[in-house]
Amino acid sequence: MSSLRTVTLGLAGFGTVGGGLVQLLQENRKELEARSGCSFVLKTVVVRDPSRARSVQLPPQTRLTTSLSEITDDPEIDIAIELMGGIEPARSFIQSALEHGKHVVTANKALLAEAGRGLFALAGRSGLRLLYEASVAGGIPVIQVLKDSLAGNAIHSIEGILNGTSNFILSEMSSKGADFSTALGEAQEKGYAEADPTLDIDGFDTAHKLVLLIRLAFGVEYPFARMPIQGIRGLDSMDIEYAREFGYRVKLLGQARMTEQGLEAGVYPVLVRHTYLLARVGGAYNAVRIEGNAVGSLFLHGLGAGALPTASAVLGDIVAAARGTTPFNSGFIEQVLPEANILPEDMPVSPYYVRFMVKDQPGVLHILTGVLASHGISIAQAFQRGARTSGVPLVLMLHEGRVSDVQAALKEISTMDFLCAPIVAYRVLD
């Protein structure tokens, strides 16, 4: 092989993903050298607690420290890798690394979704790469696909299973009858979950990733605070079972669609028809479906969380930064993108699954259908289960209607005295 160029790395964060990266830098050294013409030297690793036992050994020449400035201020380091997570000190670390002329690779979707604008602007002004393939859908190269491979398309829509932890929990509940907290514990053990797993189960992690995909697909900033978000906390296995009986699987989806009136986006548990590819994505797998005006429908599938799949994406970025091509970090020439024109809340339409826990008494169905009809909502299917006990589940599949009409009807019904529990309602992908 012709002579290799040395590229020096500084890594902040040596947990699940950082450990996977250190492992792959050693295991896949030959492949990396052959693909990039570079020899990667990991000079410095920063952690919170250097005394903690690690499952992966650092190379002998690597220095373990708690000081982030030993990376940012070191002129020998070419690429700073941020795998700590959270907003601070990750944001200041990336900013300082860019100010010191280093390319940056990160997996931090929370940071880039909530505070990415300034960092992209800084990287753009400085002609540096700020790469984040690992931040969305783990090992799936969706960012590269949107930025480069689909650059010749107007993107119409993106929808995906973007959180491995939630999908793992839903799969365990659906296929093994596992309860929610046992499945979450297992996802944490396997290294899928965020340090704060509420980000996973309450839908915020999916929303962070969706904001990044929206930026890449549509060239606009979607303010994170405006994203409608509903997670899977409190999802009842009864609804997973009933959904299955109707021919659907429950999935936590991030969805974004460009309409003539504006951009419609949100994160919700959705009943997905069982024949759809998205319905078949199980365990910690993620999938993204992209609809472009030239490519048509594209489906990407792969492991969305875990040490090695995520480190695979981090390494891809490290090689891209080492190869040194022009930085198009946001996927557009403009590094500071305009704000999205968000579709008014009463515009979106969707079919719905709704479960009412009701007293088993005459006239209930009549009242429910009456209220729904008064809001222009039509029923596709219905069933009632169970004996005359304290409450019976009455399940309705609603035809497509305006989300605002469904919400108004359910609000009206929610005060009625035949209800024994709060109403459960999920959108349907049909």
Q: Are 274 and 133 in contact (CB under 8 A)?
A: no
Q: Does 138 bind ligand HSE (CB under 6 A)?
A: yes
Looking at beta carbons only, is 39 or 95 nearer to ligand NAP? 95
Q: Does 315 bind ligand NAP (CB under 6 A)?
A: no
Q: Does 160 bind ligand HSE (CB under 6 A)?
A: no
Q: Binding string, 21-60, against ligand HSE, x = CB under 6 A?
A: ----------------------------------------
| Minimal distance, residue 221 CB to ligand NAP, in Å | 20
Q: How many residues bind ligand NAP (CB under 6 A)?
A: 28
Cα 110 from Cα 87, distance rounded (Å): 7
Cα–Cα nearest to 327, from 153, 149, 148, 111? 148
Q: Which of residues 190-209 bind ligand NAP (CB under 6 A)?
A: 191-192, 194-195
Cα–Cα nearest to 402, from 278, 276, 264, 256? 264
165 binds, among ligand NAP, ligand HSE, none (CB under 5 to 8 A by kind): ligand HSE
Question: One of 102, 147, 209, 251 is an active-site residue; which one?
Answer: 209
Cα 47 from Cα 259, distance rounded (Å): 45
The strand pairing partners of 179, in sequence order, are none
Q: Are 250 and 170 in contact (CB under 8 A)?
A: yes
Q: Does 335 bind ligand HSE (CB under 6 A)?
A: no
The strand pairing partners of 267, in sequence order, are 229, 254
Q: Are 323 and 178 in contact (CB under 8 A)?
A: no
Cα 189 from Cα 51, distance rounded (Å): 21
251 is catalytic: no
Could you tell me which stretch among 2-10, 83-91, 94-102, 329-337 binds ligand NAP (CB under 6 A)? 83-91
Q: Which of residues 287-306 bind ligand HSE (CB under 6 A)?
A: 304-305
Locus of tokens 């492992």: 23
The H-assigned helical ranges of 324-423 are 364-374, 403-413
* The one among 96, 108, 163, 312 contacting ligand HSE by CB under 6 A: 163
Q: Are 23 and 307 in contact (CB under 8 A)?
A: yes
Residues of the shown chain interacting with ligand HSE in the complex, contacts defined by CB under 6 A: 138, 163-165, 192-194, 200, 205, 304-305
**Residues designated as active site:** 209
Residues of the shown chain interacting with ligand NAP in the complex, contacts defined by CB under 6 A: 12-18, 46-49, 52, 83-85, 89, 107-108, 134-135, 138, 191-192, 194-195, 305-306, 310
